[in-house]
Amino acid sequence: MLTLENLRLTHGDWTLEADLNLAAGARCALIGPSGAGKSTLLGAIAGFMAPTRGRILWQAQDLAQLAPGERPVSILFQDNNLFPHLTAAQNIGLGLRPNLRLSTAEKARVAEALGRVGLADYADRKPAALSGGQQGRVALARALLRARPLLLLDEPFAALGPALRAEMLDLVASICSETGATLLMVSHDPGDARRIADQTIVIGDGRAAPPQKTEALFADPPPALRRYLGTN
Ligand code: ADP
Ligand code: MG
């Protein structure tokens, strides 16, 4: 279980509070207006900023003492996920070994991950020679290989068209099923949330609300979500 316990995050005068649990293995969307603190919340879980109050726990372990690389977390940002000077295979290999000195068995795992995302023939291409969708799949393959229990996605497919985005979401869903990962995914598209997430956290007005069942939430949205959706 992921626990945000009496949590407060601040940037100057800006604050976000959260006091909630997310069950292990859940697939959860994080939805709310621009500037609400979605990226900040994921960054705090990943260890890029320290809370000003409260704790972040995974399976009852306080993550505060763990550096970002030691946390049980893979995070995918909206962009800049790949190193431009490295090939697809090398970018994926970084998920296993930051120094890229891979054993034969590890190289085989990289090849397998490339195949898993449909890029078996693109191992030696650098990001500039890949489409946006292919780049996204390389980043996903790296996350797949890291197989950390918590997968945090910060609108990683926002630049893709609807068909490709749906394909990527389905891939994320199947990766999570296979690895048992707990997913927390920022999206500004309710359709994305409904496609992949059984639960949704609404964030706004300085607070991240406890996760609710996605279908029920969108069937009868609370005022903050209504405002966001523009349906009030
Ligand atoms: P979202 O991802 O929901 O759009 P962010 O988490 O990026 O929102 O930002 C939340 C608030 O924190 C915004 O008011 C933003 O300007 C501010 N903020 C984000 N990152 C920083 C930072 N590194 N330093 C200062 N303020 C920041
Ligand atoms: Mg953001």
What separation, in Å, do the N-terminal and C-terminal C-alpha atoms of the chain show? 34
Determine which residue's CA is closest to atom 20 belonging to ligand 1: 40
As given in the structure block, the two tokens for residue 105 are 């068995």
- Ligand 1 contacts CB of residue 38 (under 6 A): yes
Ligand closest to 40 (CA) is 1
Point out the ligand 1 atom lying closest to the alpha carbon of residue 40. 6
- Ligand 1 contacts CB of residue 4 (under 6 A): no
Which residues make beta-bridge pairs with 53?
Answer: 8
Ligand 1 pocket mutation, candidates 8, 14, 31, 154, criterion most atoms within 8 A of CB: 14
**What is the pLDDT at residue 167?**
85
Distances 67 to 9, 46, 150, 164 between C-alpha atoms, Å = 18, 9, 15, 34
**What is the pLDDT at residue 232?**
54
Point out the ligand 1 atom lying closest to the alpha carbon of residue 41. 6
Determine which residue's CA is closest to atom 23 belonging to ligand 1: 11
**What is the pLDDT at residue 80?**
63
With residues binned 3-state (H G I as helix, E B as strand, rest as coil), the percentages for the chain, rounded to 5, are: 40, 25, 35
**What is the pLDDT at residue 16?**
98
Distance of CA 93 from the midpoint of ligand 1 (Å): 31
Contact 169, 189 (CB under 8 A): no
| Residue 154 CA to its chain's centroid (Å) | 5
Distance of CA 150 from the midpoint of ligand 2 (Å): 18
Q: Write out the chain's pLDDT in tens, 232 residues.
A: 999 999 999 999 999 999 999 999 999 999 999 999 999 999 999 999 999 999 999 999 999 999 998 999 998 887 767 999 999 999 999 988 889 999 999 999 999 999 988 899 999 999 999 988 889 889 988 887 888 999 999 988 887 788 888 888 898 998 898 889 999 999 888 888 999 999 999 999 999 999 999 999 999 998 888 888 886 5
Q: Which residues of 133-155 are buried (b: 16+ CB within 10 A; e: fewer)?
A: bbbbbbbbbbbbbbebbbbbbbb
DSSP letter for 67, please.
-
- Ligand 1 contacts CB of residue 187 (under 6 A): no
Distance of CA 38 from the midpoint of ligand 2 (Å): 5
Ligand 1 pocket mutation, candidates 11, 15, 41, criterion most atoms within 8 A of CB: 11
